[in-house]
Amino acid sequence: MTYPLSFAGQDFEARPAGTLWWPARRTLIVADLHLGKSATMAARGGALLPPHEDADTLARLEGELAALPVARVLSLGDAFEDDRAPEALSPANRARLGAMAQGLVWIWISGNHDDGALPGLGETLSEIHEEGIALRHIAGKGPDISGHYHPKARLAGRSRPAFLWGQSHLILPAFGTYTGGLDCEAPPLADLVGPGLALLTGPRVMARPLTPGTRRRA
Amino acid sequence: MILPDKFRDWFAARGWAPHPHQLALLEAQGDTLLIAPTGGGKTLAGFLPSLVDLAGGGTGLHTLYISPLKALTADIARNLAAPVGEMGLPIRIEDRTGDTSSTKRARQRVDPPNILLTTPESLALLTSYPEAPKIFKDLKRVVVDEIHALAESKRGDQTMLGIARLRSLAPGLTVTGLSATVADPAGLGAFMGGATVLRADPGPAADIALLPTSAPAPWAGGNAHYAVPDVMAAVEKARMTLIFVNTRAQAELFFQQLWEHNPQNLPIGLHHGSLAREARQRVEQAMAAGALRAVVCTGSLDLGIDWGDVDLVLQIGAPKLVTRLVQRIGRSNHRYDAPSRARLVPANRFEVIESVVALEAVNKGDLDGEKRGPGPLDVLCQHILLTACAGPFDAEALYAEFRSAGPYRTLTREDFDACLDFCATGGYALKAYDRWQRLMLRGGLWYLRDPRVAKLIRLNIGTIIDPEHLNVRMARSRGGAPLGTVEESFAASLEPGDTFLIGGKVVAFERLREMVVEVGHAPHKQPRIAVFSGVKMASSLQVSHRIQALIGDPGRWDVLPSDLRDWLETQRRLSVLPRPGVLACETFPRGDRWHFTLYGFAGRNAHQTLGLLLTRQMEALGLGPLGFVPSDHALMIWSVDPLTDPARLLNADTLRAGLDGWLSGNSLIKRTFRNVATIAGLMQRNLPGQRRSGKQATFSSDIIHDTLRRHDPDHLLLRITRDEARRGLVDFDRIEDMLRSNPLIDHALAPHLTPLSAPLVLEIGRVSVEGEGRERLMAREAERLMQEAGLA
C-alpha cells in the first residue's frame, strides 16, 4: 500500500519498498543503493559478507520498475559503495542494470561515497532542479528531495527504514540491501527535517509524526 | 610425586593436614578431573603439584591456570601468595586478564612468570601471537578451575581448543580440571579429552531450609521485597552473609531495599557484572578484608572465590537448578568439616513451590545436568582464524590437533574443511572472493592474506555475545564517575528525566553523548524503570517435573505454607490445576490482548519451540499472535484474538509438520544466527566504548541472515545456526514426550489473570512474533500518535 504525499506543490507516492514515485513525471526516485558493499569490505580486509546484496538490491529495483509505468529513474547518490565499485560489478549484475535501463532515462546523482555513475549507462549530475524542487544527495536549501542519511523510524518498538517528510525536506530511506540506518529522532536528522511525518516502509507504508527537539517513545 | 617435608611443615604450622584428595592429586599420573565440594582445598590441590615441582626453582612458564572469572584469578593470586611467601618458594606468580595493563601484558609475552593465572579469552589471545611457541615451550601443567561452569557454554569448547594448541606447543603437558559437585563426572572427564576422575569426600550435609518470613510471599514478582526485614534480621545475626540474587536488575532493586531497612547502617555491598570494574574491585577487596557484613551478588560471585568468613548464604528467588543451589550453598562456611548454612527466600508463591521441591532434591542428592553436544563449529572457525594469526599452519596437523580436544573428538574432516573454507573464502556458493581471500594456501601452508587483519581478528575473540552495552557515567559537571553499563536497547528507551537504578543509586537520565549514557543524581525519586534485563536463569526439567507433581497432588500441599495452599485453591477455582497426565491450559483477557497459557512442564527450550509452532498456526488462523514467553514450566502466548480450541493445535503430527517451516526467519533463529556469525568472525563484535559511525558501518545481522537464506541456504553458518537451534532452542523430543505423557487436554476460559499465569506476565525473555498481528499493532500505534499530534 503506497502513501500519497504532496511536497512543494507536487504529488508523490511513498512506496512500501522505499522508492518515491513521481507520477506527473513518470519518475522513480531511489537513494543509496550502495552496490558493491561486500566486495569493498572484503578488499579492505574486513569480513567476507555474503556476496549477494547486489543481486538482492537489483531484484527489488526490478520489482519496482515492473510495477510502474516508469520513464525515468533518478538515483540520488551513493549508488555505489565507492568509486571502484562500478568496475567491480559482476557481469551478470551489470547486464541486469543494462536491461533495466533499456528505454528509460537514467540519471545518477553523485553521492559522497561515489561519483554515482556506471560507465556507459545514463548520465551523471551533481544535482537537478525541477518544478522548484532540488534533487540532490545531501539535503541543502529546501525544498529538496535527498538521500544520504538512511533514515529509520520506530513504531511500537520496531525500527524500519522510513521516508522523512518535512516542510522543506523530503528524505528517502536507503534502498540497498546492506545499509544500516539512522534513527529519525537522533541528531542531526531530528532538527534537520523539523515537524512533519515519518513514513515507515514495510508490508505497507505507515505514518507517524516527527516531533523535533523531543524524544518520544513509540 | 610425594609431599616434601617443607610442605608438610607448612601445613603443620597452620594446624592443617593435607586432605587425602590433595595428596592423591599429587600422585596422579596424566590428566585428572578433581571433583570436590567448595571449601575442600580444591584450588590448593590443583596447584600443589606445581608448587612442589617448582620448589627447587624453575625457568619460564611452568603452570597455566584458567578460570572462568577475572575476579577468581586475582583471588587465587592472593591465596597462593601465602604458601609461596611463607615457604620462601622461588616462584613468580602473575595474572593476566582483560583488566591487565597493556604494558604488563607485553612484558609477560617476553618474560612469562612461572605460574600465569588467566581466563579462556586471554588464553585464546596468547595462543594467537607469533611468539606463542616461545611462551609455552616450557609449560608442564594446566589447571582449569570451575571446569563444570566452563563446560556449560562455548567458553568450555574454546578452552579445550586452546589446551589442544598448548599440547602441540608443549608435548607431555598434564591437565588438571577442578570441579564442584556435578551430575555426570564421567561426561566432564570426556570433555577434558579423557581425564581420570578423582572424587573428594563430599563433607557433612548442608543445613538448608526456607527462611521464615513475617509476611507471605506475593502472587507474582521477582524481587522478594516482602522479605527484606527478615533478610535484614538474618544478616544482623550472622557474621558474614552472601545474598545471591538471580539477575542484575533484581540485585540492584534488592540492594536498594536492604539499605532502606538498615537502621544500624551495617556495611552491605553490591556485586554484579554490569557494575564498573572499579566498583566491583572495591567490594571484592572489602570482602577479603572482612569489612563487609553482607554482599548482594549475582552469578558474578557464583564461582569459588574464597570469602573465608561467610557463614550464611541466602538465595533470593528460586534457585532454578539443584546443582547450582548445592554449589552456592558451598559458599558458606568455607571449612571442610562444618556443615554449610543456607536459607532460601522465594520471591513469589510459584517460587515457594520451586524452592520446596529443590530442597527435596538437595536432600535426596538428586542433581540435575544437561548432556553436552559435540563442540560447535562457530568456535572452531574463530579458532582457525586465531591460529592463522600466530603463523602459517598445515591443515592436516590442525585437524589432528582439533580432534585431540574432548568436545571435537568426533569432528569429521568434511566439517573441518567446511570451516576452513569459510575462514578462507567465506564459504559461499558464489565464489566471489578469489582475490580477497582471508586465508591463502601457499606451499602447503595456510597464511593470513593480509597480516594487518590479525588485529581485527583478535578484537573479535571470545564466545560470550552480550547485547550491546553502553557505559553509564555521571554527567561531566558532576565528576563523570563511571557507574556501570546498561543494554543499548534500554538506553534507547530513555527520555531525559527518566530514573533508573544502577550501582545501588537512583539516577536520572540526562543525555546520550558519544555512546555514553550521562546521568545525574536523583536520590529522592522512585526509580520508574527497571534496569537492564540481565541473565535469565532456567530451571532444570527435573525441578519442573517435581513441581507439576506437587501442584497436581493436593494431598501433599501440607508441605506448603497456608497462603500458598489458598493460592493454588484459587487457581483451581478460577481455571485449571496442572497435574501429571494432563496438559492443562487456560485462556484469559488482559488489557486489550488475549493470553493463552499452557502448563507443559517440558523445559524452557521445548516451550520456546512450542511457542514458535503454535504462533505460526495462530497466524494462519488469523488470531494475530503478538508474542510469547516461555518459562521452564509453562508457555504464555498473547494475541489480538483469543485461542479457543487449543486441542486442535496441540497435535504431534500437526506440530511436526510445522517444524519444517519453523526455521523461516523468526526472531529466535535470528538471535542464534547473530551469535554464531559473531563468534565465527563474519560480524565484527561491537566493543564497549567503540564509537560507531551510526549508519554506514552497522546494518543488522538480520539482513545478513535473510540474504543468506535467500541466496545461499546451505551455507555453513546457517547449518551451524540450525544445529544449535535444534539442540538448544527446539528440543522437539520433549514436546512429543509432553504430549505423550499428558494425553488429556484440559482447557479453561478464565475471567482474568490467574495465580499461576501471574509470574509469566513478568518473565524476562519475551519473544515477539512478526506477522499480521504486529502490523496491526504498529498501525494502531501510528494512528494513536497521529491523533495525539492532531494530524488525523
Cα distance between residue B13 and residue B7, in whole Å? 10
Q: What is the CATH number of domain B207-364?
A: 3.40.50.300
Q: Does A123 score more than 60 pLDDT? A: yes
Q: Closest partner residue to B699 among A45, A178, A200, by Cβ?
A: A178
Residues of chain B with pLDDT under 70: 38-39, 219-222, 300-308, 330-338, 465-469, 478, 487-490, 492-495, 513-515, 524-539, 659-668, 686-699, 726-730, 762-770, 792
Cα distance between residue B739 and residue B572, in whole Å? 22
**Bridging pattern class, strands A27-30 and A72-75:** parallel
Q: Which long-range contacts (C-beta less than 8 Å, at least 24 apart) are formed by B262-270? A: B262/B232, B264/B236, B266/B235, B266/B236, B266/B293, B266/B294, B267/B291, B267/B292, B267/B293, B267/B294, B268/B235, B268/B292, B268/B293, B268/B294, B268/B295, B268/B296, B269/B294, B269/B295, B269/B296, B270/B295, B270/B296, B270/B297, B270/B503, B270/B504
B715 to chain A: nearest residue by CA? A50
B343 or A183, which is more confident: B343
Q: Judged by CB atoms within 8 Å, which residues 400-459 of B form the interface with A? A: 425-426, 428, 430, 432-433, 435-436, 438, 449-450, 452-453, 456
With 0-12 CB in 10 A as exposed, 13-18 as middle and 19+ as buried, what is A101?
A: middle
Distance of CA B371 to the CA centre of its chain: 16
CB contact under 8 A, B433 and A48: yes
Q: In CATH terms, is domain B5-199 a member of 3.30.70.100?
A: no
CB contact under 8 A, B426 and A51: yes
pLDDT tens readout for residues A6-40: 999 999 999 999 999 999 999 999 999 999 999 88
Domain ranges in chain B with CATH number 1.10.10: 377-465
Q: Does A130 score more than 90 pLDDT? A: yes
Q: Which residues, listed in sequence order, are joined to residue A145 by a DSSP beta bridge? A: A135, A170
Position A185 confidence tier, pLDDT thresholds 50, 70, 90: confident
Q: Closest partner residue to A48 among B438, B699, B768, by Cβ?
A: B438
Give A90 to chain B, closest Cα distance, Å: 9
Instruction: Using a CB–CB cutoff of 8 Å, tell me whether A155 touches chain B.
Output: yes
Give the three-state DSSP class for B104: helix
Q: What is the pLDDT of residue B651?
A: 83
CB contact under 8 A, B695 and A52: no
CB contact under 8 A, B432 and A208: no
Q: Judged by CB atoms within 8 Å, which residues 100-139 of A form the interface with B? A: none
Domain ranges in chain B with CATH number 3.40.50.300: 5-199, 207-364
The interface predicted TM-score of the complex, written ipTM, equals: 0.86
Instruction: Using a CB–CB cutoff of 8 Å, tell me whether B670 touches chain A.
Output: no
Q: Closest partner residue to A208 among B449, B694, B785, by Cβ?
A: B785
Please report the DSSP string for B121-148 in residue order.
HHHHHHHTSTTHHHHHTT--EEEETTHH
Q: What is the pLDDT of residue B538?
A: 60
DSSP B728: I
Instruction: Using a CB–CB cutoff of 8 Å, tell me whether B786 touches chain A.
Output: yes
- Set out the domains of chain A in order of their start, with CATH numbers: 3-210 (3.60.21)
Q: What is the pLDDT of residue B533?
A: 40
Instruction: Using a CB–CB cutoff of 8 Å, tell me whether A186 touches chain B.
Output: yes
CB contact under 8 A, B786 and A207: yes
A-chain residues within 8 Å CB-CB of B781? 155-156, 208, 218
Instruction: Using a CB–CB cutoff of 8 Å, tell me whether A43 touches chain B.
Output: yes
**pTM (2 d.p.):** 0.79
The CA-atom distances, in angstroms, between B200 and each of B50, B749, B764 are 20, 54, 38
Interface test mutation site (partner B, options A40, A48, A152, max chain B beta carbons within 10 A)? A48
Q: What is the pLDDT of residue B221?
A: 66
Q: What is the pLDDT of residue B792?
A: 65
Q: Does A136 score more than 80 pLDDT? A: yes
Q: What is the pLDDT of residue B668?
A: 65
Q: What percent of chain A has pLDDT over 90?
A: 67
B626 to chain A: nearest residue by CA? A156
Topology classification of domain B377-465: Arc Repressor Mutant, subunit A (1.10.10)
Q: What is the pLDDT of residue B692?
A: 45
SS3 of B711-723: the string is HCCCCHHHHHHHH
B708 to chain A: nearest residue by CA? A50
Cα distance between residue A24 and residue B500, in whole Å? 53
Interface test mutation site (partner B, options A34, A52, A200, A204, max chain B beta carbons within 10 A)? A52
Q: Which residues, listed in sequence order, are joined to residue B178 by a DSSP beta bridge? A: B34
Asked if A118 contacts A86 with a C-beta cutoff of 8 angstroms, the reply is: yes
